[in-house]
Amino acid sequence: MKIFEADTLEKYTSILNNHDFIILHISASWCKPCAFIKDELYNFIKKYEKEEKEYIFLNLDFNVIDEDSSFEDYLLTKKIPYFACIQYKKIINDYHSSNIEEIKNFVYLNIKETTNFIYQEDF
């Protein structure tokens, strides 16, 4: 799993358009739980660096979202830290929590389920 930071919507869109499977983490620089979660999650994600399928963990700062009102309007219904599993540019699962163990479980289960889904499709 590769880790990317999107500091502009253009970078976010580029990553979204060039990768099939993304775990999106939306946080904010002013959110203290987000900073803790980000550090813990990066350490957890390193366990998946050698996976055969390419997975992307994308961190997007909420302040960047202010540049695009349609995206902001969607996310106003959500809370941060916010996580979404995106496959082929569609959100297939999302989650809100500041509990690091629950978040790790969300990431793990989505990687596992998506791997099985992709694996079955390959036949």
In tens, the pLDDT along 29-87 reads 888 888 888 888 888 887 766 666 677 888 888 777 655 555 555 555 567 888 888 88
Residue 19's nearest CA partner among 8, 4, 7, 9 is: 4
Structure tokens given for 114: 């998506």
| Secondary-structure class of domain 2-121 per CATH | alpha beta
Tokens encoding 121? 């499709």
For residues 123 and 103, give the distance between their C-alpha atoms in angstroms, rounded to a whole number: 31
Quote the pLDDT of residue 102. 92
**Cα three-residue angle 42-22-92, rounded to 5 degrees:** 125
What span, in angstroms and rounded, lies between the C-alpha atoms of 14 and 45?
A: 22
- Rounded CA separation 7/11 (Å): 7
